[in-house]
Amino acid sequence: MTSLILYTPSGVLAKGGPLKLAAKRLKKLGFDVAIDEAALAKHLRFGGEDDVRLEAIHRVARARPGIALATRGGYGLTRLLDRLDWSLLAASVEAGTRWVGYSDLTALQMGLLAHKKAPTWWGPHACDDFGRDELDEVTPDCFAEAMTGALEAVGFRTESGFDGLDTRGLMWGGNLAMLCSLLGTPHWPKVRGGVLMLEDVGEHPYRVERMLLQLHQAGVLASQKAILLGAFSDWKKSPLDRGYTLKTVVAHLRSLVNVPVLTGFPFGHVPTKVTVPFGVKGHLVVQGRDAFLGWDEDHAHHHPGHDGHGHDHDGHAHHDH
């Protein structure tokens, strides 16, 4: 059984219920679940004071479980970036630990990529996903297969116009606001020629555009092989929009950069999530409107030999291409 530790690196868990439910469901999926001693710590809006959360992350790294799964995101990792022991975290990755999360976790994932070129995993959180009343069907399946090394590609439906696309590059990205919050700092991963995956929540399209333009003006976008846009969810229209929408943003982005910008990636603050690695070479292929993002499993973990097969977000298995 793969060992899995639940820990709280960022925001406070207001209640213990979702954590219990998540632990139960993860056990049912076949994982050997442990809960970090500070998982329910509380300090203001944080899951414990900075020292408590920092020590929790380092404790998980020293324990080297198969999976280090964040209970939730929120806000908090930014406070720890200058103090994290990147060598300790990278050693756990080298020993086989998969660090999984999204949203605020982007800071940890991209920091590990920046400082140590270490792979991590974009995927669900314990409480936000496994702890919600109604659990999505695809998310746990995809997570479990990715964690056991059985998954090595995900498929999704994208817009027309990209038929025949076949490109490779380092998989990276995450939450757009968190990614931009690393620009100019030592925690920014300087990835060129990559497959950049982006999502955000609660950001009006003009703010999404402003962040994309920052990445563009910083020279980041034009040097990528492909940009995959996930969900940009839970924002409110303004009476001043006058027809300006996320589609306007995507069109403007495409007018600026000569890089394929694919929408429809099941990646974001939405119930249906893929689990995909960061920091490993990806292979993006589009046939008609069907996009497949595969990765080289050997670079994503250290367990040789597996019965690789793919999985699309509608739950249909397919073989790697």
Q: Among residues 21, 58, 64, 78, which is the contact residue for a second copy, using CB under 8 A?
A: 78
What the block records as the tokens of 321 is 């291409």
Q: By CB under 8 A, name the one of 122, 143, 172, 188 that touches a second copy.
A: 188
Q: Tokens standing for 236?
A: 């409110």
- 103 is an active site residue: yes
Amino acid at 49: E
The answer to whether the CB of 176 falls within 8 A of the CB of 203 is yes
Q: Is 255 a catalytic residue?
A: no
Out of 58, 59, 64, 79, which residue is the one contacting a second copy (CB under 8 A)? 79
Binders of a second copy in range 212-231 (CB under 8 A): 213-214, 217-218, 220
**Shortest distance in whole angstroms from residue 128 CB to a second copy:** 13
* Subset of residues 82 to 101 that bind a second copy, contact rule: CB under 8 A: 82
Beta-sheet strand order (sheet of 98-101): 32-35, 3-7, 67-70, 98-101, 120-122, 276-278
Say whether 87 is catalytic: no
Site for a second copy in 127-186 (CB under 8 A): 180-186
Q: Please, which residue, 27 or 217, has the CB nearer to a second copy?
A: 217
The DSSP output letter for 222 is T
Q: How far is the CB of 35 from a second copy (least distance, A)?
A: 20
Strand partners, 7: 70
Output 73 or 119, the one with its CB closest to a second copy: 73
Task: Determine the Cα–Cα distance for residues 67 and 65; give it in Å rounded to an integer.
Answer: 5
By the 8 A CB rule, do 173 and 207 touch?
Answer: no
Q: Cβ contacts of residue 209 below 8 Å, gap of 6+? A: 248, 249, 252, 253
Interaction of residue 81 with a second copy, rule CB under 8 A = yes
Touching a second copy, residues 41-60 (CB under 8 A): 42, 44-46
**Helices and strands (H, E) in the chain, number of each type:** 9, 15
- Site residues (CB under 8 A) for a second copy? 11-12, 14, 42, 44-46, 74-75, 78-79, 81-82, 180-188, 206-207, 209-211, 213-214, 217-218, 220, 238-244, 248, 252
